[in-house]
Structure 1
Amino acid sequence: MLQKNAGEVASYESEIEHNPLPPFINFNADYRVAPNNKLVYCMITKNMCTIFGEVSCLLFNPETYLEKNISVTSVMYDDRTCQTAPAVLNNHSKLRKYLGGDEKNYKYYTVVREPIDRFLSAYTDKCFRERELLGRYEQCYGCGYDMECFIDETYKRALMYAAGTRPTPVNMEDYHFLPQNWKCFFGLEMEKYTFFDYTDKLKMYDKLDAFYKASGVGMKVREKIQRDLRTSFTLHKTSNSEARKIFENQLRNNRKLMAKLINLYYYDFIYFNYSVPILD
């Protein structure tokens, strides 16, 4: 998953100015720990992180969670069922302190997603759905439905992070739109991780079940996880919406915007082994 595709790099460089943002800026790391099975899950926004946060809550205290008779996909982030340490450790130093000398016995995992797909999911959810349904008109830098305005503002903030100038305050848009490789201290710890690809979710669920089984998660808990993942629907799912289709068409037919996103997410494509888009 960490290999580079030289052909894609050359193709990209021949299409547009090759000016990608640097990889492995340590933007944030937000962990969920399941000590019973020695698992560390690192959250990457828009990659089913709320759901897998709930899976971690289930693994942290399975008996109590099963008594609640709730689905891991039905709980929104603000209402998550575990919110305190050690189940939740929201920065790298807290994780290091908690694991201590036992760190080598833990398995790390996370979910990665094709970068343009992740951007469109976040844009549809945060810049359209929440604006329409929740009246959050100030979100997405007040750009409304002007995608160019929003991408420009996102790119400006990313350049500040890349230059070592951390904007204040860190905002919702940063968490949802900055590169995946800037999270989880991947620059130092990528080799520790098992990565699950969001692209084919049914295949991902099969691989997750095998991973949890190898980590000692019992059959009853694994069956619940699989049942919830395969039969439930989350409120902020965007993949099949008409708005998402409109935004995707708008983006993919705008060479300038696509080029800017390729520069923003270039190392997500490379390190997580996704094809770099070819620009017409």
Structure 2
Amino acid sequence: MTTRIQKLFYGCLVFSISFAIFWYFPEIRKGCDIIVDGTVVNFSGVEDFIVPFINYTTLFYTAPKYKLISCGLRKSMTQLTMNLMCLLYNEQQYFEDNNSLNDTWKIKRRCLADEYNFYYPTKALKNDLETVRFAFIRDPIQRFVSLYLDKCVHEKRCYKCGTDMRCIVENIYLKLKAVQENQDNITVTYMEGHAAPLSWNCEFNTDLSKWQLLMMGADSYERNSSILHLTTILKKRGVNETLVEKIQQDMIAGETGHSTHKSAERIEAERQVREDPFIRDLLHKIYFFDYVVFPFKRDHLDPKYQSNFWTLPK
């Protein structure tokens, strides 16, 4: 499983470089012709899509003691990531404060008081060849569903749309379009910061190849594989084996609880995403290139986007 994902990742990385060329050189972008492996490929039908690799928002967590940097991808295990990195940043303080990996955002954490050192990796840490970068990544459309339920249904902070998913998706699309058309004057706003494509985060536009990606899939097999991947990283970085075992057990317990609970609101939101053509069209336009850049399954996308319609001409 891991080998297949790695192969997909490095294959997609080739395309991601091409997409970076696509965006930064308008003369190539005109007509939607892209150079892949030295061959011009026409990507007709994606001219109005949200492009990949805009340097929009960064949220790093660091554990200098272990030479670790993590990317906080909003609505992609961010709370868990922050709790984990708080633990690794200062283990003694973490346990004195009786923190846990399942703490919610409302719980105060003293690691956040030392904001600069925790959030901003030093140049020495970033340039150290032993430093490991990792990020939990989540299926983009499932990530949107989580965003919708949290920010729109529960917090009611979505563009004065209430819970109208059509209104919300349209606003996200238009706001992200405005960002990509005005990159010299980027302002990160609350909703766009949470809704931005994965590739717009954590300086992925310049150093994605340096990151180890932990795929948090919908099924327990993929989730457990990611947890095992993380524990391997922690062991290699010298984290005490007893602590690694505790982290693994707490994460599996948390994921088990998560996987057995599906609210009526989530079922309804997933139905809208699956059945409403207006919503599906805009979600494809917003997140399609995340499916190209990252090795996600595409079997729930519309048929055209499940296949490699960009196959190189023979």
Aligned ranges 1:181-196 → 2 under 5 Å: 181-196=199-214
Q: Which has the larger radius of gyration?
A: 2
Number of the residue aligned with 1:17: 45
Aligned ranges 1:257-268 → 2 under 5 Å: 257-268=279-290
Offset at residue 76 of structure 1 (A): 1.3
Q: Describe the superposition over 1:186-212 as per-residue Cα deviations: whole angstroms up to 9, x where unpaired.
A: 110101000000102222111111111
When normalised by structure 2's length, the TM-score is 0.75
Q: Is the 8 A contact 1:2 1:272 kept in 2?
A: no
Number of the residue aligned with 1:143: 161
Stretches of structure 2 that go unaligned for 5 or more consecutive residues are 1-8, 14-43, 305-314
Number of the residue aligned with 2:302: 278
Instruction: Letter of the 2:141 partner, please give it.
Output: I
Is 1:221 equivalent to 2:243 in the alignment? yes
Q: In the superposition, relative to structure 1, how do residues 46 and 2 fare at CA in structure 2: closer, same or farther (>3 Å)?
A: farther
Number of the residue aligned with 2:133: 108
Offset at residue 72 of structure 1 (A): 1.6
Q: In the superposition, relative to structure 1, how do residues 166 and 143 fare at CA in structure 2: closer, same or farther (>3 Å)?
A: farther
Number of the residue aligned with 2:175: 157
Offset at residue 79 of structure 1 (A): 2.8
Is 1:99 equivalent to 2:125 in the alignment? yes
The 2-side partners of 1:166 and 1:77 are apart by 35
Is 1:86 equivalent to 2:104 in the alignment? no
Q: Is the 8 A contact 1:110 1:194 kept in 2?
A: yes
- Does 1 or 2 have the higher relative contact order (CA < 8 Å, sep 6+)? 1
Offset at residue 30 of structure 1 (A): 1.1
Aligned ranges 1:52-131 → 2 under 5 Å: 52-76=81-105, 79-83=108-112, 84-89=115-120, 95=121, 97=123, 99=125, 102-131=127-156
The 2-side partners of 1:106 and 1:61 are apart by 18
Percent sequence identity over matched residues? Answer: 27
Q: Describe the superposition over 1:231-271 as per-residue Cα deviations: whole angstroms up to 9, x where unpaired.
A: 24799999711101101101211122212111111111011
Counterpart secondary structure, 2:11: coil
Which residue, 174, 177, 187 being the options, matches 2:195?
A: 177
The 1-side partners of 2:255 and 2:234 are apart by 22
Q: In the superposition, relative to structure 1, how do residues 253 and 88 fare at CA in structure 2: closer, same or farther (>3 Å)?
A: same
Q: CA RMSD in A?
A: 3.0
Q: Is the 8 A contact 2:58 2:202 kept in 1?
A: yes
Stretches of structure 1 that go unaligned for 5 or more consecutive residues are 6-15, 90-94, 132-138
Number of the residue aligned with 1:45: 74
Offset at residue 64 of structure 1 (A): 2.1
Instruction: Letter of the 1:41 partner, please give it.
Output: S
Q: In the superposition, relative to structure 1, how do residues 53 and 77 fare at CA in structure 2: closer, same or farther (>3 Å)?
A: farther
Q: Is the 8 A contact 1:125 1:236 kept in 2?
A: no
Q: Is the 8 A contact 2:61 2:119 kept in 1?
A: yes
When normalised by structure 1's length, the TM-score is 0.83
Q: Is the 8 A contact 1:73 1:234 kept in 2?
A: no
Counterpart secondary structure, 1:41: strand
